[in-house]
Chain A
Amino acid sequence: MPLIKHGKLVEDIWHETDDFTDVQALAPLGPVIVPLDVWRQHRDEILAIGCALGLRLAPGQTPDLVATDLHRFGVIALEFAKFTDGRAYSQARLLRERHGYKGEIRAVGEVLRDQLTFMLRCGFDSFSLATPQQARTILEAVDDFAHWYQPAPDGRATIPTLRRRTLDNADRPASDCAAAWAY
C-alpha cells in the first residue's frame, strides 16, 4: 500500500501479518507491526526475536495499556475502522502529549484526504493509503488552513498565541501573560 511519511511518498519498511500462530515465524519478516493483543500475549517471545517492532492499536485501545513499552516501538499504527470513527485522534494525542512518544504514528484503514489535516494536527506523521491516486492528491489538503485555534501536538502557533504576539508588539510591553490562552 502506498505510504506517505513526512509529506513524501516512501517505501514502507514495515511488515504486517494476520498470522501469529508461530511467533518465531515473524523473525524473517524483518521490521514487523504486531497488534496489541498479540503483543500482550507473547511479549517476551516477541522481544526475544530481536527484530524491529511496531505496534498496532485498534480503536478504543488506549495507549495507557502499553505505556511502559512504548519506547520499544518504531511505529505505532492507529486504525481508522471507518473514517467517521474518531477515536484514533485521541489515541494519537495521548501518545504524543501524555506519553511523549517520538516515533512514527501511522494512520491505517480508511484514511481520506479530508481528514488529513486533523490527523496531522493530532500527531500522525505517516499515512497508509488505499490507492496511488490518493497518494497524489491527499497532500493538497495540507495547506487548507494557515492557522488553527487549538493547541495540538503539531506544535504550530495557535491563533490565540499569534494574537497575543500581535498585541504585544503593537502597543504594550510583553506581559507575563504573553503566552496567554496558552492555547
Chain B
Amino acid sequence: MYRYDEFDHAFVAERVAQFRDQIERRISGELSEDEFKPLRLMNGLYLQLHAYMLRVAIPYGTLSSTQMRKLAHIARTYDRGYGHFTTRQNIQYNWPKLAEVPDILDELAEVEMHAIQTSGNCIRNTTADPLAGVAADEIEDPRAYAEIIRQWSTLHPEFSFLPRKFKIAVTGAPNDRAVTRGHDIGLRMHRNIKGEPGFEVMVGGGQGRTPILAKTIRGFLPVDHLLSYLEAILRVYNQLGRRDNIYKARLKIMAEDLGAEALAKLVEAEWEQIRHYTLDLPLEERQRIAAYFAPPAYDDLSADHPALDEAIAADESFAAWVESNVYDHKKPGYAIATISLKPHGGIPGDASAEQMDAVAGLAEQFGFGEIRISHKQNLILPDVRRADLYRLWQALGGLGLDTANAGRVSDIIACPGLDYCNLANARSIPIAQRISERFTNIKREREIGEVSLNISGCINACAHHHVANIGILGVDKKGTEYYQVTLGGAANEDAAIGTIIGPAFDEWQIADAIETIVDVYQQLRNSDENFIDTYQRLGPQPFKEKLYASDQARKAG
C-alpha cells in the first residue's frame, strides 16, 4: 500500500488546519454560506436534508485494517455508529457536527486519509479497479497511476474551480471493473507492440440527466506522458467548458457539442505545447511509487483444495457464496472474496462500526491486512487462501456479512435518495429493500444469475442506473414518487446505456415490475444466458408486453 512520507503528512495536516480555520470563520459569520459552500465542498462536506454529510476518500479503493478501524471509530464517536460506502470508493458519514469535522479530519490524517476533493467542482477522488494487483487479467497495477494522479490533482492551482465536477477512473486490466467509460476521463491500460504499457484515453463520459459513454480520443498514451496529457485535457476543459448552465457544464456536453474528434484535436494541440517541459513521469518515479504496491509475501500454494471442494459439496449455502462472491486470484491457492454489504432487506452499502472493526480483523486473519471497496458498494478481501474460505465464510455469517449475492439481482446499488439527499425526487433505499426482499431465496437468485440493478433517487444518477442491466430512476409526478425503469445498460468493457421500457411505476408496483422482468427473462433465456444476453437477443418487446399487459387489457376492455 502507499504510505505517506513527510511531505504527504505535512500537506494533509496543513489542509486540515486550513479547513479548521475556514469552519471557524463560517461559525463566526465571517464567511457567508455562499462563500463557505465551495470551500466545504472541496473538502467533502455537504449540507443534506437533515444534517451535514462528510464524504471521505478511499483513494483507488484500497484500505488497510488500521484505516478501517479508524473509519469504525469515527462512525462510533462522531456519527450514529455506521458509515455508508459509495459507488466511487468513498465512505459517507451522515450525521457529523460541523464543529467536529476538523477533529474527524485530524483523526483521518493520523491514518493517512482525507476528504480532499470528494466533492465540489474539482478533480474528484480518482477511482480504480477494486481488484487491482490481484486480478488474473491485469497488465499492471493501476493504483500506482491512481496515486500519482491523486497527488497531481490535489489542490491543483489551475483546476480547482472547474465548470463542474471532474471524475477520473483507471484500470490496468482489459475487463473493466471501474466503469471507465462512465467518467470524465477513463484510462484503460494496454501494451503496444513493443510490450510497453500505455493508456487508452477516453473522455466525456458521465451519468446524470444526459448519460454519455466516454469516447476514445487517444488509443495509446505512453505512461510517462500521463500527467501532461491529463493537464492538457483539463486546461482545454477549464477554458472552454460551459459555465452558464449547470446541466451543460460537464466535459461530456462539451465533447458532444464539439465532437470527439474536434475535442481530441484541441487536447493534442495543447499537449504538444506542454508535453516536453512540464510533467514527465520518468521510469524511476513510476517505479518508486509502484514499489509501494508490490505484491505481499504470498506462499506457494497448491491450486487444489479437496477439503474446499468437499465443503462446497456438503454445504449448499457455502457453495452459493463461493459461486457468487469468490473470484479467481492471480496467485494459485489464493482467492478474492467479496463481502456483500447488501443483506436482503438491508440498506445497500451501509456498514456498522462493529462490522467495520470485524472486517479489519478478518483482513488480518485471512490476508495481509488489506481491504478493497468496490463500485458496487461492497467490501473485498483480496488475498484469502482458498483453504481458509470456509472459515472466513463462517466468521462472516456471525456478522451478518455472508450474503451470497455479489453480482446477483439483490446486489443492488442504491443512492441515499430522499431519506438523506436534498436533490432527491424519490426514496431509493426502501425500494432497494423491498426489491431485495423478493429475492431472499438463494436458490432462485443462483438460477437468475448475473444481473445488475441500480436505483437512483433523481436524474443525477449517483447510483449509475443508466449503466445497470435493470435501472430504476425515482421521478416526481405531482408530489408522488414514481419509478422509471430502464433495461439493457451495462457498466463493463461493453458499456451501454439502458433504454426506458415504458411508463413509470408507483412505489407499490415497482417491486412487482422487477419480478415480472426477472420472470420474463427466466422464461425466455437460453440455457447459459445472463440477463443482459437475453435482453440483447430479444430486445425490450417481451418485457414490455408482460409489464404493461394489464394496461392493454384495460384499454382493450
Which residues of A come within 8 Å of B, CB atoms? 59-60, 62, 83-87, 89-90, 93, 98, 112, 114-115, 117-118, 121-122, 144-152, 159-160, 162-163, 175, 177, 180-183
In the bound complex, residues from chain A placing their C-beta under 8 Å from that of B7 are 147, 159, 162-163
With contacts A87-B238, A114-B39, A145-B14 taken as known, whether A180 is within 8 angstroms of B280 at the C-beta atoms is yes
B484 CB–A CB distance under 8 Å: no
Smallest CB separation, A101 vs chain B (Å): 15
Question: Is there an interface contact between A159 and B279, defined as CB atoms closer than 8 Å?
Answer: no
B66 CB–A CB distance under 8 Å: no
B33 CB–A CB distance under 8 Å: no
With contacts A151-B278, A177-B284, A181-B282 taken as known, whether A112 is within 8 angstroms of B158 at the C-beta atoms is no
**B269-285 toward A: CB 8 Å interface, digit per residue (1/0)?**
00001000111111111
In the bound complex, residues from chain B placing their C-beta under 8 Å from that of A62 are 239
Question: Is there an interface contact between B157 and A122, defined as CB atoms closer than 8 Å?
Answer: yes
Tell me what chain B mostly uses at the interface: helix, strand, loop, or mixed: helix
In the bound complex, residues from chain B placing their C-beta under 8 Å from that of A162 are 7
Question: Is there an interface contact between A163 and B5, defined as CB atoms closer than 8 Å?
Answer: yes
Question: Is there an interface contact between A149 and B151, defined as CB atoms closer than 8 Å?
Answer: yes
B121 CB–A CB distance under 8 Å: yes
Question: Is there an interface contact between A84 and B284, defined as CB atoms closer than 8 Å?
Answer: no
Smallest CB separation, A112 vs chain B (Å): 7
Question: Is there an interface contact between A182 and B18, defined as CB atoms closer than 8 Å?
Answer: no
Count, A-B residue pairs, CB within 8 A: 109
Smallest CB separation, B519 vs chain A (Å): 50
Smallest CB separation, A178 vs chain B (Å): 10
Question: Is there an interface contact between B161 and A149, defined as CB atoms closer than 8 Å?
Answer: no
B243 CB–A CB distance under 8 Å: yes
B235 CB–A CB distance under 8 Å: yes
| Cα–Cα, bound, A177→B17 (Å) | 34
In the bound complex, residues from chain A placing their C-beta under 8 Å from that of B239 are 60, 62, 87, 90
| Cα–Cα, bound, A180→B278 (Å) | 10
In the bound complex, residues from chain A placing their C-beta under 8 Å from that of B121 are 84, 86
With contacts A87-B238, A181-B281 taken as known, whether A147 is within 8 angstroms of B10 at the C-beta atoms is yes
Question: Is there an interface contact between A152 and B280, defined as CB atoms closer than 8 Å?
Answer: no
B326 CB–A CB distance under 8 Å: no
In the bound complex, residues from chain A placing their C-beta under 8 Å from that of B281 are 181, 183
Question: Of B14, B38, B159, B279, which contacts A183 at CB under 8 A?
Answer: B279
| Cα–Cα, bound, A151→B157 (Å) | 9
**B158-197 toward A: CB 8 Å interface, digit per residue (1/0)?**
1111100000000000000000000000000000000000
Question: Of B154, B159, B280, which contacts A182 at CB under 8 A?
Answer: B280
Chain A residue with minimal CB distance to B281? A181
